[in-house]
Amino acid sequence: MQTIKFKPATYNRFLKFVAGLGGLLYGIDVGIIAAALPYLEATSGLTAGQISFVVAAVLLGTVISTLFAGVLADGMGRKRLMILSGALFAASIPVIALSHSYNLLIIGRLCQGISAGLIGVVVPLYLAECLAPEDRGQGTAMFQWLLTIGIVAAASIGMYFSFRVDEVAKLGNPQMLFAYKDYAWRSIFWVSLPPGLIFVLGGFLVADSPRWLFQRGRKDQALEALLHSRTPENARLELEEMENNLAAEQAKAAGRRIAESLFQRKYIIPFILACVILALNQTTGINSIIGYNTAILIQSGLSDVAAHWGYILFTVVQALATVIGMVLVDRKGRKFLLSLGTAGIIVALCSSAFLFHRAEKRRVDVSHVVQAAVNGQTDFQVHYTPELQKKWLSEAGDTSLAGEPTTLTIIYAYGDFSAVTPAMVSNQPLSTPVKITRADTVPGNKVVAFFSDPFGNLDQAKTAPLRIEHALITPLPGRTNGWLVALTLFMFVTFYALGPGICVWLALSELMPTRIRSNGMSIALVINEAVATFLAAIFLPAVGRYGYTTMFLLFAGCTVFYFITVAFFLPETKGKTLEEIEAHFSSTHAKA
């Protein structure tokens, strides 16, 4: 299929839209399972361990594909890899939506994860290499904006089906309710198919990366690709920059063949800087705050319905703030927006921590009382009511919270494998009891056990008694406090979207020198995902033990390092070609 012919300005808009659809798919990958999960759990017949692996399969697929995305991008070309990633996403939807077995669900979710990993590398890489300096920031921002739209869409679809399920539940027919829940989770996945198909079609209509073509010695095709998005004069000037850059490299080589290692001294500074920024981007807590947003708002004092509306508002605020970032990124620059964004995040996180501290400083640990109630049982069930709250507080010898609505969180373990219950609210007597079971806590095989705890003794955990590590009763703040926390989270995501949300993709693609860009981006993204995985693993246990106050302050402290890195070490790349950015680091090294 031929590259579509447009005037440069029109082609650039089309290219941004097509590449931005990759961000939409990435956002759907992140958000869609949260919408479908309640209905999948209710109708699939899978165990909690199997459901956990269905959720985690996307992350596993993402990590695997990110490792090889750079090599594939160099071997296949950016355009072909974009088409492949979109095709994988589109193929995963019918596999998941039509599946009636655990294995097919895993295969479909792995395909979604592989697609997300490829997209996360190849789309920012493609945009950086195709767009002119004055458009590069806005183009990459389009990727991030549509990523946030994907998350908003997933949350909105989930809310729509929750209303429909509630209407069916009112009919009082269990068989009809079961059938509709089964229909709901499958429909949620089907809705995400059209963007994948459009992304694949758009991939055929855009030109390949001019820099990839140039690296392959196809200079005429590289010039033709540049002419799609630039005036003839600018296209020839940029091709001349590429040729000069290549000539300088060859002159330095002086006839010797130099291995293109990421760890040559001329590459190490931008590579390390990109990796540090990608890692610190996760330590702002963005994924944890998105993933546990509803739970955070419930424990801050909002009702279940209000918390779900709060989450939708959170995603909408993120999308709107990203639009503002798109407008500013090529005007104010990356360094300015990252500095502003990280500073705002620090203030927002500290405010959230303060609001939670007012309640969490009064929490009571009744673990010894709950351990006595377990009384040697392997499994344990808790229906947290005001009566049980009063009883356990009395037995613990602290009745200061006896007359208030509270939450109960239990951290428990079987051998080396620990888990934490969802926060149970005392003033919701119709809520479902929480069950603590070995089957839901101890991994079913050694592969899952390794990812849960690499040093855990699986065989010992299969026979170990139930151990209550902490059972924390915390006063539940009022509705006003809940909306104040929601406002601080809106503030958090506004500053994140203005700065790190947009600029992290630019830092990833712009800082890497041309010859190592694809592989360097893969390594940086793997580091990013490793940090994300670590934070996801520790978030609930850490909150259970130490509270949201400690967790938010930890995120704020990491963001201080982010601010320092940006303010003192990151060069401004606004308006510079990729070759000019590379020359900056070469000259910095030469001076050193």
Number of domains in the chain: 2
274 within 8 A of 524, measured Cβ to Cβ = yes
| Domain-embedded: residue 173 | no
Question: Structure pTM?
Answer: 0.73
What residues make up the domain containing 296?
259-380+406-428+467-592
Does one domain contain both 329 and 264? yes
Beta bridge pairs of residue 412: 419, 468
Q: pLDDT at position 265, please? A: 61
In angstroms, the CA 284 to CA 218 distance is 42
68 within 8 A of 522, measured Cβ to Cβ = yes
Q: pLDDT at position 493, please? A: 94
Does one domain contain both 234 and 360? no
| Domain-embedded: residue 131 | no
Does one domain contain both 353 and 495? yes
Tens-binned pLDDT, residue by residue, of the chain (592 aa) = 556 667 777 888 888 888 778 888 877 776 777 677 777 877 877 765 577 677 777 777 888 888 888 888 888 888 899 999 999 999 999 999 999 888 899 899 889 889 988 888 888 888 878 877 777 777 777 777 888 888 788 778 877 887 787 788 888 888 888 888 889 889 888 988 888 898 899 888 888 888 888 888 888 888 888 888 788 888 888 888 778 776 766 665 544 444 445 566 667 788 888 888 888 998 998 878 887 787 788 888 887 678 878 888 898 898 899 888 888 887 888 888 999 999 999 999 999 999 999 888 888 899 999 999 998 888 999 888 888 989 999 998 888 888 888 888 888 999 988 888 877 888 776 566 888 888 878 887 777 777 667 788 888 998 999 999 889 898 888 889 989 999 999 999 999 999 898 887 777 777 777 667 777 777 887 888 788 777 876 777 788 778 889 999 999 999 999 999 998 888 877 777 666 777 776 665 545 4
Does one domain contain both 561 and 548? yes
Does one domain contain both 288 and 219? no
In sequence order, what are the residues at sequence separation of 6 or more whose Cβ sits closer than 8 angstroms to the Cβ of residue 378? Answer: 437, 438, 465, 466
In angstroms, the CA 469 to CA 461 distance is 15
For residue 412, report the phi and psi dihedrals to the nearest 5 degrees: -135, 170
Does one domain contain both 371 and 420? yes
Does one domain contain both 264 and 248? no
| Domain-embedded: residue 553 | yes
